[in-house]
Amino acid sequence: MSLMRQIAWLVLGVVLAALVGAVGLSTLSTRELMQTQLSLKNADNAQSLALALSQQQGDVELIKLLVSAQFDTGAYEYVRWLDAQGRPVFERAGSPQEGRSPAWFRALVPMHAAVGVAQVSSGWTAIGTVQLKSHSSYAHDALWLASRRLLAWLLVVGIVAAVLASLGLRRIRRPLDAAVAQAEGVLAGSYGQVIEPRVPELQRLTRAMNAMVRRVRELFEAQAGQLLVLREQVHHDALTGVSTRRHFLAELDAALQRDDGPVVAGLVLLRLRDLPGLNARLGRAAADDVLQTVATALQAYPASVPGCRVGRLNGGDFALWLPAEGVAAETAHALADALRASLPAFGAGVQVALGAVELPRERPSPVWLGEADAALARAEHLGESRGGFVVEVVAQAGLGREQGEGVWRAQLQDAVARQQGQLVAFPVRDRSGRVLHLECPLQLQLDGQWVPAAGWLPLAARARVTASVDLFAVGLALQAIAADGLARCINLAPASLADAAFLPHLRDLLGQTPQAARLLLLELSETAATEHFDRLLELGRQLRPMGVKLGLEHAGAGLAQVERLYQAGLDYVKLDASVLLGVAGEAGRAAFVRGMVIMLRSLALKVYGEGVVDEMDAQALWDCELDGLTGPWVTATR
């Protein structure tokens, strides 16, 4: 039983005890008063009757007449005349009178009034005694009425006291509830502050809780800052600040495997020509300045375009990943122009070669690197004869769909309307092999073929129909959950959150199958937390009461940069493959993953790893204490 309920019962018990005690004491004292009055009445009436009988000179008939007259004029149980030897001479008695008071009340509060007794004489000779006793029913009626009135007044007073006590308890309960909610919020990863109440004891409690929450939040922020430092050390080149070769290749592999990227993307390779010669001619410090200038020019793209990735492959080789179609050639020429304007300041002979390719994202990363490296080799060869800054571009024609946006929208809407879709299940397992939930990307039937999300999602985003497609996927997941009872995860496009009608329709859909909704997981990409935090908050606020779990996928070091992540109301986070790839062979990367797990666990979040392809990486991730893994290795080996 809760503390407030115990206090409420205690207050109620005290009030009831006070009521019962007050009524009982008042009733008993009133009864004593009435018994005394009845006894005095009996005695006075007996004396008056005896005096009247003594004046009759022993005339029996007159005495009987007076006894009868006395009996008829009062409410008596009996009136008796006894002779000098105590034998009854004449008696008048009436039937018992119950009155209006209930029998249980008369039994509970009996009346015992003394019988009135007086001596009857004729001159100086005693001729007997007279006895009389009044009925107590009238006294019981008066006592019953007085007790009821007293009880009614006390009940009114008790109700008023209970209301005032309830208001007082509610006032006390508010800061206590706030403190409890604050403590529960800390367990759930939320670090809110509570307004201090006026009650001194509760004020001290609230102040202590607020101080504790601030301390925990400061520890979390310090830990996030340490992760950022560790990220810089592990993932980024110390000289230029861009990604290392290993991390860039991991990011490239992860980008090619995602469903939310464009159908066609671009890759630009840049080579600072003759880096050993520059070191010899300009000196190591100047050559480093040249490398930093090149890296600064490249970093302008990730700073302005989400999804771009920059890495230093080795020496003077850099790479730029462009998650967009038709921009590789333009970007390569823009980079060449920018460097052509800045690098000559370091002296003659500072030259670069650039190779750019555009390919479908379903091509594996070795193909991307091979095609881009071939373009770079041709650019470098041309640079030997032409000198200066050379750009070589390879773009395969006919990579994307030739239909316009209206045709794509019509095809996607028709597929949803005709229910031409299916969910593909990929398990997320814990260390023991138990299935935690199923990741279920949606495939749509377009042009008679089943198209995975990587094929239709970019088109849906451009055609602005992601909301209807996501609702369709959620509906399929709820049907599957209702059929087999297995938890399923559906990915939502961040663009769907921008649709004002999406969330109400989603709530209605979940409300139709509330039991299945409790086994549904919805996740968004990390960009939803970094770019649409308020929408993420609203999504969690409306869906968590329905039992739906909310998470982030493709999460990486960017989580440490998310302000108020502890307020997002998430249930889990899936670490991106670019963070996990190669963790078994790199201690720094493993330390970074372990730090991410500790930080997220402090927010009461489950941590899963995605895109695991290697058994050694899987074992290293289990050692980092992840809650579950998914990816090709998990699917193939279980």
Q: 20-34, pLDDT tens digit by residue?
A: 787 788 888 888 888
Kindly report the CATH number that applies to the domain delimited by 264-395: 3.30.70.270
Instruction: For CATH 3.30.450, list the domain ranges present in the chain.
Output: 3-159
- The candidate with the shortest Cα–Cα distance to 98, out of 109, 110, 106, is 106
Q: Phi-psi bin for 242: left (phi > 0), alpha (psi -120 to 50), beta?
A: beta
DSSP letters along 562-575, please?
-TTGGGS--SEEEE
Work out the pLDDT band at 405, boundaries 50, 70, 90. low
pLDDT at position 591: 85
Q: Phi-psi bin for 193: left (phi > 0), alpha (psi -120 to 50), beta?
A: beta
Q: Mean pLDDT over residues 615-634, rounded?
A: 92
Which two three-digit tokens encode residue 274? 């003759």
* Residue 623 CB neighbour total at 10 angstroms: 13
Which two three-digit tokens encode residue 573? 């986070």
Lowest-confidence region among 2-16, 61-75, 507-521: 2-16
Which two three-digit tokens encode residue 416? 């949803």
pLDDT at position 484: 92
pLDDT at position 100: 78
Q: Give the angle subtended at the CA of 160 by the CAs of 159 and 163, to the nearest 5°.
A: 85
Work out the pLDDT band at 563, boundaries 50, 70, 90. low
pLDDT at position 627: 94
Work out the pLDDT band at 422, boundaries 50, 70, 90. very high
Average predicted confidence (pLDDT) for the chain = 83
* Residue 177 CB neighbour total at 10 angstroms: 13
Residue 134 has pLDDT above 70, yes or no: yes
57 with 170: CB under 8 angstroms? no
Work out the pLDDT band at 378, boundaries 50, 70, 90. confident
Which two three-digit tokens encode residue 312? 């230093």
CA distances for 214 relative to 182, 219, 223, 556, 560, angstroms: 11, 9, 14, 25, 18
Residue 564 has pLDDT above 70, yes or no: no
Q: Mean pLDDT over residues 211-221, rounded?
A: 72
pLDDT at position 395: 62
* Residue 247 CB neighbour total at 10 angstroms: 25
Question: In the 8-state DSSP scheme, what is residue 227?
Answer: H
Select from 2.60.40.10, 3.20.20.450, 3.40.50.1100, 3.40.50.2300 the CATH code of 405-637: 3.20.20.450
pTM of the model: 0.64
Q: Let me know if 280 is exposed, middle or buried by CB neighbors in 10 A (0-12, 13-18, 19+).
A: exposed
Of residues 98 and 35, the one with the higher pLDDT is: 35
Residue 86 has pLDDT above 50, yes or no: yes
Work out the pLDDT band at 318, boundaries 50, 70, 90. very high
Of residues 221 and 471, the one with the higher pLDDT is: 471
Q: Mean pLDDT over residues 594-617, rounded?
A: 87
Select from 3.30.450, 3.10.50, 3.30.70, 3.30.420 the CATH code of 3-159: 3.30.450
Q: What CA dihedral angle connects 505, 511, 513 and 516, to 10 degrees?
A: 90
Residue labelled with tokens 């030997």:
384
Of residues 303 and 425, the one with the higher pLDDT is: 425
Work out the pLDDT band at 525, boundaries 50, 70, 90. confident
- The candidate with the shortest Cα–Cα distance to 249, out of 313, 317, 315, 323, is 313
Question: In the 8-state DSSP scheme, what is residue 359?
Answer: E
Of residues 530 and 398, the one with the higher pLDDT is: 530
Which two three-digit tokens encode residue 333? 């020429």
Residue 470 has pLDDT above 90, yes or no: yes
Residues 96, 522: Cα–Cα separation, whole Å: 83
Lowest-confidence region among 118-132, 485-499, 554-568: 554-568
Residue 360 has pLDDT above 50, yes or no: yes
Which two three-digit tokens encode residue 283? 């000196």
572 with 604: CB under 8 angstroms? no
Question: How long a stretch of residues is the chain?
Answer: 638
320 with 299: CB under 8 angstroms? no
pLDDT at position 75: 79
Residue 398 has pLDDT above 50, yes or no: no
Residues 489, 523: Cα–Cα separation, whole Å: 7
Q: Mean pLDDT over residues 110-115, rounded?
A: 84
CA distances for 160 relative to 11, 150, 165, angstroms: 13, 15, 8
Residues 219, 465: Cα–Cα separation, whole Å: 42
Lowest-confidence region among 400-414, 458-472, 571-585: 400-414
Q: Angle, nearest 10°, between helix axes 60-73 and 3-54?
A: 150
Instruction: For CATH 3.20.20.450, list the domain ranges present in the chain.
Output: 405-637
Lowest-confidence region among 171-175, 401-405, 460-464: 401-405
The residues pairing with 612 across neighbouring beta strands, listed in sequence order, are: none
Of residues 611 and 169, the one with the higher pLDDT is: 611
Q: What percent of the chain shows pLDDT beyond 90?
A: 20
Residue 396 has pLDDT above 60, yes or no: no
pLDDT at position 400: 44
The residues pairing with 266 across neighbouring beta strands, listed in sequence order, are: 322, 358
CA distances for 139 relative to 36, 101, 142, angstroms: 11, 10, 5
Instruction: For CATH 3.30.70.270, list the domain ranges present in the chain.
Output: 264-395
